[in-house]
Chains A and B, each alone.
Chain A
Amino acid sequence: MKINFILNGKNVWVETDPLKRLLDVLREDFGLTGVKEGCGEGECGTCTVLIHGKIAYSCIIPVGAADHAEIMTIEGYRKTERYKALQDAFAEAGSVQCGFCTPGFVLAAESLLREDARPGETAIREAISGNLCRCTGYNMIVEGIKIASLKGKGLW
Chain B
Amino acid sequence: MKGKIGKSIKKIDVAEKTGGYARYIADMRFESMLHAKTLRSSKPRAKIKGIDIPEIPQGYYIVDRNDVPGKNRVKMIVNDQPFFAEDVVNYIGEPILLVVGPDKEKIIKILSEIKVYYEAVKPVFTIEEAEKLNTTPIYGEDNCFADYEIEKGDPDEAFGRAAKIVENEYRTGYQEHIYLEPQGMIGIYESNRVTVYGSMQCPYFVKNALIQGLGWGGDRIRVVQTTTGGAFGGKEEYPSLIAGHVAFAAVKAGKPVRLIFNRKEDIQATTKRHPSIIRLKTALDDHKKIIATDVDIKMDGGAYSGLSNVVLQRAMFAATGVYNIPNVRVRGRAFATNNVPSGALRGFGGPQAFFAIEMNMHALADHVSEDPLDFKIKHMLKKGDHTVTGGVLRQDVKLDEMTDMVLGMSDYRKKYDEFSKNDDQVLRGIGLSLFYHGCAFTGSGEKDIIKAEVKLKKREDGKVLILIANVDMGQGAQTTLRKIVARTLCIPVDDVIYENPDTDVVPDSGPTVASRTVMIVGFLLDKAAQELKAEWEKAPEVEVHKVYEQPGYIRWDQETFEGDAYPVYSWGTNVVEVEVDPVTCEIKVKGIWGVYDVGTAIDERIIQGQIEGGISQGLGYATIEVMNSKDGKILQDSITDYIIPCSMYFPGIESKLIDSYYEYGPYGAKCAGELPFIGAAPALASAVQNALNVQIKRIPVTPEYLMETAEGEN
CB of A147, distance to nearest CB on chain B (Å): 13
Q: Which of B106-114, B443-451, B644-652 contacts A (4 or more CB under 8 A)?
A: B644-652
Q: By the criterion CB–CB under 8 Å, are A98 and B179 in contact? A: yes
Interface size on B, residues (CB 8 A): 56
Q: Which listed residue (B11, B180, B228) contacts A101, Cβ 8 A?
A: B180
Given contacts A41-B263, A94-B608, A134-B617, contact A129 B647 (CB under 8 A): yes
Known: A91-B10, A140-B612. A34 touches B640 (CB 8 A): no
Contacts of B605 in A (CB 8 A): 94
* A99 with B18: CB separation less than 8 A: yes
Interfacial chain B residues near A18, Cβ < 8 Å: none
Binds A, one of B21-29, B144-152, B207-215: B21-29
- CB-CB < 8 A to A36: which residues of B? 24, 26, 180-181, 229
Q: Which of B13, B18, B263 contacts A39 (CB 8 A)?
A: B263
Q: Does B327 contact A (CB under 8 A)?
A: no
| A115 interface residue (CB < 8 Å to B) | no
- The answer to whether the Cβ of B613 comes within 8 Å of any Cβ in the partner chain is yes
Stretch in B36-44, B403-411, B468-476 with 4+ CB within 8 Å of A: B468-476
CA gap between A38 and B647 in the complex, in Å = 17
Which residues between 60 and 105 of chain A lie within 8 Å of chain B, taking CB atoms? 73-75, 78, 83, 86-87, 90-92, 94, 96-103
Q: A38-B180, A97-B476, A97-B609 are in contact. Are A78 and B20 (CB under 8 A)?
A: yes
Q: Does A154 contact B (CB under 8 A)?
A: no
Q: Which of B1-50 contact A (CB under 8 A)?
A: 8, 10-11, 13-24, 26-27
- In the complex formed, the residue of A with least CB distance to B179 is A134
Distance in angstroms from B486 CB to nearest chain A CB is 18
Residues A41 and B10 in contact, CB atoms below 8 Å apart: no
The reply to whether A39 and B638 form a contact with Cβ atoms under 8 Å apart is yes
Complex Cα distance, B22 from A87, in Å, reads 14
Q: Say yes or no: is A40 at the interface (Cβ < 8 Å to chain B).
A: yes
Which residues of B lie under 8 Å from residue A83 when comparing CB positions?
Answer: 19
Whether B497 sits at the interface, judged by CB under 8 Å, is no
- B653 at the A/B interface (Cβ < 8 Å)? yes
* CB of B301 to closest CB in A, whole Å: 24
Which residues of chain A in 82-140 are interfacial with respect to chain B, using CB atoms and an 8 Å cutoff?
A: 83, 86-87, 90-92, 94, 96-103, 106, 124-126, 128-140
Q: What residue of chain A has the Cβ atom nearest to residue B229's Cβ?
A: A100
Task: Quote the shortest CB–CB distance from A27 to chain B (angstroms).
Answer: 8
In the complex, A87→B473 CA distance in Å? 20
What residue of chain B has the Cβ atom nearest to residue A94's Cβ? Answer: B605
Write out the residue numbers on chain B whose beta carbons fall within 8 Å of the beta carbon of A87: 14-15, 18-19
Q: Which residues of B contact A124 (CB under 8 A)?
A: 647
Q: Is the CB of A33 within 8 A of B20?
A: yes
- In the complex, whether A141 has a CB less than 8 A from a CB of chain B is yes
A137 touches B263 (CB 8 A): no
Contacts of A129 in B (CB 8 A): 646-648
Q: Cβ of A43 < 8 Å from any Cβ of B?
A: yes
Complex interface: chain B residues within 8 A of A106 (CB): 18
Binary CB contact string for chain B from 466 to 495 against chain A (1 if under 8 A, 0 otherwise): 000000011110000000000000000000
In the complex, B334 has a CB within 8 A of chain A: no
On whether the beta carbons of B17 and A102 are closer than 8 Å, the reply is yes
* Complex interface residues of chain A between 1 and 59 (CB less than 8 A to chain B): 27, 32-41, 43-44, 46
B17, B231, B232: residue with the most chain A Cβ atoms closer than 10 Å:
B17
Closest residue of chain B to A34, judged by CB?
A: B20
- Min Cβ gap A93→B in Å is 8
Cβ of A137: which chain B residues have Cβ within 8 Å of it?
Answer: 612-617, 645, 650, 653
Q: Which residues of B contact A90 (CB under 8 A)?
A: 14, 18
Provide the bound-state CA to CA distance between A73 and B21, in Å: 12
Contact residues in B for A91 (Cβ distance below 8 Å): 10-11, 14-15, 18
* Cβ contacts under 8 Å, B19 to chain A: 34, 74, 78, 83, 87, 103
Contact among A74, A99, A141 with B647 in the assembled complex (CB-CB below 8 Å): A141
- Min CB gap B701→A, angstroms: 19
Task: Give the interface size bracket for A toward B.
Answer: 35 or more
Q: Is the CB of A39 within 8 A of B639?
A: yes
Query: With contacts A34-B21, A98-B181 known, is A43 near B640, CB below 8 A?
Result: yes
Which residues of the other chain, A, contact B26 by a CB distance below 8 angstroms?
33, 36-37
Closest partner residue, chain A, to B263 (CB atom): A39
B599 at the interface (CB under 8 A from A): no
- Determine if B644 and A134 form an interchain contact, defined as CB atoms under 8 angstroms apart: yes
**Contact partner of A96 among B14, B615, B646, B653, CB < 8 A?**
B14
B124 to chain A, nearest CB (A): 31
Task: Decide if B178 is an interface residue (CB 8 Å cutoff).
Answer: yes
Shortest distance from the beta carbon of B523 to any chain A beta carbon, whole Å: 23
Residue of B181, B232, B617 ringed by the most chain A CB atoms within 10 A = B181
* Neighbouring A residues of B180 by C-beta, 8 Å: 36, 38, 44, 46, 98, 100-101, 132-135
Q: Are B21 and A134 in contact (CB under 8 A)?
A: no
Choose among A92, A94, A98, A126 the residue that contacts B230 (Cβ–Cβ < 8 A): A98
Give the chain A neighbours of B72 by CB distance below 8 A.
Answer: none
Given contacts A91-B11, A137-B615, contact A100 B646 (CB under 8 A): no
In the complex, the answer to whether B232 meets A103 with C-beta atoms within 8 Å is: no
Rounded to whole angstroms, the CA-CA distance of A87 and B181 in the bound complex is: 21
B558 within 8 A of A: no
**Could you tell me the distance in whole angstroms from the C-beta of B325 to the nearest C-beta in chain A?**
33
Closest chain B residue to A28, Cβ basis: B29
> In the bound complex, how far is the Cα of B649 from the Cα of A128, in angstroms?
12
Q: Which residues of A contact B644 (CB under 8 A)?
A: 132, 134
* B227 on the A face (CB < 8 A): yes
**Quick one: which of B230, B617, B638 has the most chain A CB within 10 A?**
B230
* Contact residues in A for B511 (Cβ distance below 8 Å): none
In the complex, residue of chain B having the shortest beta-carbon distance to the beta carbon of A107: B20
CB-defined A-B contacts under 8 Å, sample of 16: A34-B21, A36-B229, A41-B639, A46-B180, A87-B14, A94-B609, A97-B475, A97-B476, A103-B19, A129-B646, A129-B648, A134-B177, A136-B616, A137-B614, A137-B616, A138-B645
Chain B residues within 8 Å of A, Cβ to Cβ: 8, 10-11, 13-24, 26-27, 177-182, 227-232, 262-263, 473-476, 605-606, 608-609, 612-617, 638-640, 644-648, 650, 652-653
A→B interface (CB under 8 Å): 27, 32-41, 43-44, 46, 73-75, 78, 83, 86-87, 90-92, 94, 96-103, 106, 124-126, 128-142
